[in-house]
């Protein structure tokens, strides 16, 4: 099996509210997958389950060989392989950009100071923020903060990167600079899963699109399903979204 992520019949409840009702999909190595759908369709929850930020009630998830079922999970090993970027950036406000990136390199990867430093500079250069290494997050724009968050995740050399509505808090101009970084990563062959509302972006870079509706995978296929949707629900969704 070359699938790097395998989600099988996952059910997830928050109290009485079932947000995932038997979700299944696969993601191949090097694939860029966009998960789209209305708010409340379960797309963010599905993504968070892949990094074990949410535990599932039944079914199974395998990510880079880690089984995230209902049993115990070696989180440290899982998170060496999986990177995640959040809508609200979640940079550490008490640390500089450089320190934000170096923290986990030092304490998780156990790299030397010099290695951490050169790694930080390398990833910052990749997101176009080498000049901001010694700024604090609060001194940066939202778009810059999000690029730092991507760099921080990237520095850990994950096998899969998850993006949870990473541009939803940004204005169109700042959105553009973040999407460009993600696009560069896609070209570099990174396996990525994006929960996004940017339909045109999804159509441009995604190899596969998963449309979720009311906690289920409703329609899935190549990016062409965004222009030629089969189900009425996706037709309505892209109709309002574009």
Partner 1 sequence: MDTFSSVQLLYLLKGVGWTLVLSALSFVLGSVAGFGVMLARVSVHRPLRILTSAYIQIIQGIPLLVLLFIVYFGVGIFGINVAPLVASAVALMIHVSAFLGEIWRGSVQAIEKTQWEASECLGLSRWQSLILVIIPQALRMSLPPSVGYLVQVIKLTSLASVVGFVELTRAGQIINNSLFQPFLVFVLVGIFYFLLCYPLSLWSRAMERKLNVGNR
Does 104 bind partner 1 (CB under 8 A)? Our answer is yes
Dihedral over Cα of 234, 236, 240, 242: its sign: positive
Does 91 bind partner 1 (CB under 8 A)? Our answer is yes
Phi, psi of 21 (to 5 degrees): -115, 65
Dihedral over Cα of 203, 205, 208, 210: its sign: negative
Does 75 bind partner 1 (CB under 8 A)? Our answer is yes
Within 10 angstroms of residue 126's Cβ, the number of other Cβ atoms is 18
Distance CA 44, CA 38 (A): 10
Least gap, CB of 237 to partner 1 (angstroms):
28
Q: Residue 225 carries which DSSP code?
A: G
C-beta of residue 124 within 8 angstroms of C-beta of residue 105 = no
Does 229 bind partner 1 (CB under 8 A)? Our answer is no
Which phi-psi region, left, alpha or beta, contains residue 110 (left: φ > 0; alpha: ψ -120 to 50)?
left
Least gap, CB of 94 to partner 1 (angstroms):
5
Task: List the one residue from 22, 24, 26, 53 that touches partner 1 (CB under 8 A).
Answer: 53
Identify which range of 28-36, 60-68, 86-94, 119-127 contacts partner 1 by CB under 8 A: 86-94
Task: List the one residue from 153, 167, 175, 191 that touches partner 1 (CB under 8 A).
Answer: 153
Closer to partner 1 by CB, 113 or 187: give it: 113
Least gap, CB of 152 to partner 1 (angstroms):
7
Cα 183 to Cα 3, 45, 201: the distances in Å are 22, 23, 9
Task: List the one residue from 40, 55, 108, 231 that touches partner 1 (CB under 8 A).
Answer: 108
Identify which range of 18-26, 100-108, 171-179, 214-222 contacts partner 1 by CB under 8 A: 100-108
Binding positions for partner 1, rule: CB under 8 A:
51, 53, 75-76, 79-80, 82-84, 86, 88, 90-94, 103-104, 107-109, 138, 149, 152-153, 156
């Amino acid at each position: 099996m070359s699938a790097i992520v395998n989600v099988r019949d996952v059910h997830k409840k928050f109290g009485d509210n079932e947000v995932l009702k038997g979700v299944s999909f696969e993601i191949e190595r090097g694939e860029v997958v966009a998960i789209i759908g209305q708010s409340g369709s379960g797309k963010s929850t599905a993504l968070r389950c892949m990094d074990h930020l949410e535990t599932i009630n039944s079914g199974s998830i395998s990510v880079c060989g880690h089984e995230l079922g209902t049993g115990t999970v070696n989180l440290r090993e899982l998170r060496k392989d999986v990177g995640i970027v959040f809508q609200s950036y979640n940079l550490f406000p008490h640390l500089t950009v450089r320190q934000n990136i170096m923290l986990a390199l030092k304490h998780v990867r156990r790299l030397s100071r010099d290695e951490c430093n050169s790694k930080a500079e390398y990833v910052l250069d990749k997101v176009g923020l080498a000049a901001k290494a010694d700024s604090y997050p609060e001194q940066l724009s939202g778009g810059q903060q999000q690029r730092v968050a991507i760099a921080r995740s990237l520095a850990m050399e994950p096998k899969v990167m998850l993006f949870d509505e990473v541009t939803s808090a940004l204005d169109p101009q700042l959105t553009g600079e973040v999407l460009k970084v993600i696009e560069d990563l896609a070209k570099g062959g990174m396996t990525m899963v994006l929960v996004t509302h940017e339909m045109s972006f999804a159509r441009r870079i995604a190899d596969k699109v998963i449309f979720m509706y009311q906690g289920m995978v409703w329609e899935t296929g190549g990016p062409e399903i965004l222009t030629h949707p089969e189900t009425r629900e996706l037709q309505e969704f892209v109709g309002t979204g574009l």
